[in-house]
Chain A
Amino acid sequence: MQQSKAQLIIVLLFGTFIFLLLCAFIIILLLFFKQRQRQNLTEKADIHTAYEQAILQAQLETQNQMLQHVAEELHDHVGQMLAVVVLYLNVLHEETSETPYRERVAKLLTHTTMLVNDVRGLSKSLSTDTIARFGLVACLTLEIERINRADRAEQATLQVLGEPYQLGEQTEIVLLRMVQEALNNALKYAYDAAITLTLDYQPDALMLTVADEGPGFSMSEVDARPLTGSGQGLHNLRRRATLLGGTCTWQTAPQQGTRVTLWIPRKDKPVIDKSPTTN
């Protein structure tokens, strides 16, 4: 009787122990697996981000090189040719001062001089050297002046809040291109409506806002557009902002204008590394 009791206790305790062991094994296995899976997924996401960043960097470098080339051509070739034209027009203006063509030549001279200024402004706007030498605020000021000059009206205004600081050359080049794209969108869709560009230098981030008082648009309508009718502008802006570690948001509705807000965190070193990658 005592022996059977002892056996019963042993069987019960052993059975319970085995069950608990199995239980612990299942839970520990699950924990290890999930930890490994989490690690793998995080690594995969990091690789994907690095890959996206490398692609963006390559795209930006190509774009910058192309724009730099166009800027140099505008400055060195078109600009020089226009300067020669202005020179000849000045001579012609002198020579025709006593003739009925005088006024027409004067108008031609004025328009050509304006064209020279526009080409110079465009050249500076496209050149990446400008941002390296003068910084983001100066480049954006130039951009606003260019818009106003082209429009012959004070359509665009720039507001700078806080104390400006450097975000790194590469980051500022990306930001300049993003703002140019946002301004171009505003000019394209807002027609003659007022455009306000605000740079808010906060202690930990730069908040850039491009607001227009144009007709606005419906986000759901844009999202529902078919492939042939959909632009890449909004998507590109968001992607670039994400890769700079920031965000890009829109506030818009039909007849209520559009506000594009870029939020870029302040970092000690540039987000996009220019150093060559090793294979």
Chain B
Amino acid sequence: MVLYLAYYTVNAVAILLTFSHWRNEPNSLRYQWIYLLANLSSELYINQGPVKVDYTYVYNIIVIIECIFYGWLVGSQYRSMYARRVTYVSVGLFVILGFVNLILLNSLLSYNYYFLLRCFLFIIITGWYYYELYTSQSITLVTSLPSFWICSGFFIFCMGSFFVMGLYALIRHEDQALADMLYVAIIPSLNIVLYTSYIAATLCNRAKHNS
């Protein structure tokens, strides 16, 4: 419960910070608060709602929103136009797949596969972002780049949740208590890391504007 409380707090702080500094941000960062707000609202809605209801559709919607915003953010950072195009096309396909999943399947198992695919996509596009950063001749301090923080947050989240979320439906099928225990132990912690990265991104951008 403490982890969840910390997760919601960090998410709320991230919303406040990104929203209060939205004017200073480039377009791809400017509207990230919408995603953060959608995520917090959905989490609170699920947490406050009746226990017996299946909320898979909410998660499916959130993953689609997340993919749009993250794809936009990372794609806009690429120097290579080809990589940018590939990213936008992949995100587009992923969104279409998301809607197909939401409308036609909407099961926990299909959500898990969809989640795994999303982790895979995010790891690949973040990997390319890191590669471009690695080969760049710019002398800009990496930690002063807001996109670096957000990408690192997603990278850690996707790598860390790959096993737990990917196998969640299967484990739950075998042992629901075990699945829930693993989920509660790992996912909120990774979410804290993810949304802290948004806070760091906003703060480093603010420091850059103030200096």
Contacts and interface: CB of A to CB of B under 8 A. Distances in A.
Range class of the B interface residue count = 20 to 34
Contacts of A16: 160-164, 186
B96 interface: no
Contacts of B178: 5, 8-9
A12 interface: yes
Contacts of B180: none
A28 to B, nearest CB: 10
B162 to A, nearest CB: 6
Contact of A31 (B143, B160, B162, B167): B143
A12 B130 contact: no
State the main secondary structure of chain B at its contact with A. Answer: helix
A5 B143 CA distance: 41
Given A5-B175, A30-B134, A12 B155 contact: no
Contacts of B152: 27
A24 B190 CA distance: 13
Nearest to B142: A34
Range class of the A interface residue count = 20 to 34
Contact of A12 (B134, B139, B164): B164
Nearest to A12: B163
Contacts of B86: none
Contacts of A13: 182
A249 interface: no
Interface string B102-133: 00000000000000000000000000001001
A19 B159 contact: yes
Nearest to A33: B134
B141 interface: yes
Interface string B150-171: 0010011001111110010001
Contact of A9 (B133, B159, B182): B182
Contacts of A22: 159
B142 A12 contact: no
A138 to B, nearest CB: 41
Contacts of A35: 142
B193 to A, nearest CB: 10
B130 A41 contact: no
A42 interface: yes
B47 interface: no
A35 B144 CA distance: 12
A23 B127 CA distance: 10
Interface string A152-174: 00000000000000000000000
Contact of A15 (B142, B155, B163, B175): B163
A28 B152 CA distance: 11
A81 interface: no
Nearest to B145: A34
A104 to B, nearest CB: 72
Interface of B: 130, 133-134, 137, 139-143, 152, 155-156, 159-164, 167, 171, 175, 178, 182, 186
28 contacts: A5-B175, A9-B178, A9-B182, A12-B164, A12-B182, A15-B162, A16-B160, A16-B162, A16-B163, A16-B186, A19-B160, A20-B160, A22-B159, A23-B156, A23-B160, A24-B156, A26-B130, A27-B156, A30-B130, A30-B133, A34-B141, A35-B142, A37-B139, A38-B139, A38-B141, A41-B137, A41-B139, A45-B139
